[in-house]
Amino acid sequence: MGRYVAGDLPELDRLVEEAKDGIGRDIDSLGIREVASVVLGGGYGRGEGGAMPQGAGCAQWRLSNDLDFFAILRDGAGERACGAVARALESVSRAWTRKLGIDVDFAVKTPGRVRRDRERLMVQELLHGFADVAGEKGEKIFAGIERMDASRLPWMEAARLLMNRGAGLLLALESGDAEFVARNINKCVLGAGDAFLIAHGLYRYRAVERASVYEARCGGGLYASAVQWKFRPEKDPVCDWERARETWLAAKAGVCAAADGSVRRRSLASAARWLVRRRTVGDVSTFALDPVLRILERIAVCVESRSAMPADLRRDWEIFN
């Protein structure tokens, strides 16, 4: 594996390194006082970034995934500062998106938010693989936040993955963009497999290790093919939409079977989260369940019936994903 890109593509590793350094300089030049540190996360931060052939004979390669950066604010900065910092970073995002031909995204987090979300898969994957870009070193910023063993990730992260990948599958059903459809089919297969592994305490932070574990447990070869597709995307998806649908539904059944009764308990905290962010009770039969579960069940109905997401469901998903 390379430093940023999966496999042996030193020219792309150099491109990411140069882009990372340039983005760091651009951020420093903005002088945003609230920002303590910026790190590169996502697939490239873990050395699992994708690459696509470019030009005849595949002699050249280009980056194929988004560059996902995380801007961590200084202690004491409140959640309200996140929006202002995100707007300040938009010029850097736009400039480097044009230069690289892939999306360059910034997620802005307070230290408190990172600590509160320490059991989230996104945070744990960041802690297990990142590259410094600007400001203080990530190791200092993340000091004191537990790096969890992957087998201990909570069941709710499996549900969250299924919610997001099911939504992506439904969006692919409506899309006429072949590349968008292919990516979301592949994400669905990967997410379904990852959710199953999390729910059964078998998840690993390295994709190739997950493929090995999944194949030993479930077989079939589709998940392993989806991992390879992630590293080297092709024009055609790893399977058709219908097989991705069946894979998602099977994973949901397996994930739900692995849950204990506590995950479906109703609580005032869940009710409050829903009311504050949606300002409506919605479906009374699922009220006071965790919002992720409420949305997942509605997405499952759409996947089962092969129907598009209603506008209100799409809004719920966008708020809580």
Over 90: is that where the pLDDT of 226 sits?
yes
- Which run of H or of E encompasses 106? strand 104-109
Instruction: Please indicate, yes or no, whether residues 183 and 284 belong to a single structural domain of this protein.
Output: yes
Name, in order, each residue with C-beta under 8 angstroms of 142's C-beta and a sequence gap of 6 or more. 114, 127
**For the chain, what percent of residues have pLDDT higher than 70?**
98
Q: How deeply is 268 buried, as exposed, middle or buried, from its count of CB atoms within 10 A (0-12, 13-18, 19+)?
A: exposed
Over 90: is that where the pLDDT of 201 sits?
yes
pLDDT in tens, 139-191: 999 999 999 999 999 999 999 999 999 999 999 999 989 999 999 999 999 99
Q: Write the DSSP symbol of residue 287.
A: T
Q: How many domains does the chain have?
A: 2
Instruction: Please indicate, yes or no, whether residues 70 and 168 belong to a single structural domain of this protein.
Output: no
What was the pLDDT predicted at 55?
A: 63
Over 80: is that where the pLDDT of 92 sits?
yes
Instruction: Please indicate, yes or no, whether residues 17 and 110 belong to a single structural domain of this protein.
Output: yes
Rounded to whole angstroms, how far apart are CA atoms 232 and 226? 10
Name, in order, each residue with C-beta under 8 angstroms of 90's C-beta and a sequence gap of 6 or more. none
Instruction: Please indicate, yes or no, whether residues 27 and 176 belong to a single structural domain of this protein.
Output: no
- Which run of H or of E encompasses 185? helix 178-199
Q: Would you say residue 244 lies in a domain?
A: yes
Instruction: Please indicate, yes or no, whether residues 193 and 60 belong to a single structural domain of this protein.
Output: no
**pTM of full prediction above 0.85:** yes
What backbone phi and psi angles, to 5 degrees, belong to 106? -125, 125
Name, in order, each residue with C-beta under 8 angstroms of 304's C-beta and a sequence gap of 6 or more. 249
Q: Would you say residue 297 lies in a domain?
A: yes
What was the pLDDT predicted at 283?
A: 85
Residue range of the domain that includes 197: 152-320
Q: Are 215 and 224 in contact (CB under 8 A)?
A: yes
Instruction: Please indicate, yes or no, whether residues 91 and 52 belong to a single structural domain of this protein.
Output: yes
pLDDT in tens, 71-87: 999 998 888 999 999 99
Tallying the residues shown for the chain, one arrives at 321
How many helices and strands in the chain, by DSSP H and E?
15, 6
Any idea which of 56-65, 128-137, 234-243, 268-277 has the lowest mean pLDDT? 56-65
**Boundary of a domain, candidates 131, 148, 165:** 148
- Identify the three-state secondary structure at position 155: helix
Residue whose structure tokens are 């309200």: 80
**Boundary of a domain, candidates 148, 177, 192:** 148
| Number of C-beta neighbours around residue 230 at 10 A | 22
Number of Cα atoms under 13 Å in the Cβ half of residue 10: 0
pLDDT in tens, 244-259: 999 999 999 999 999 9
What was the pLDDT predicted at 57?
A: 52
Q: Would you say residue 2 lies in a domain?
A: no
pLDDT in tens, 38-75: 999 999 999 999 999 876 555 589 999 999 999 999 99
**Domain containing 89 — which CATH number?**
3.30.460
**Boundary of a domain, candidates 130, 148, 166:** 148
Any idea which of 124-128, 184-188, 265-269, 296-300 has the lowest mean pLDDT? 265-269
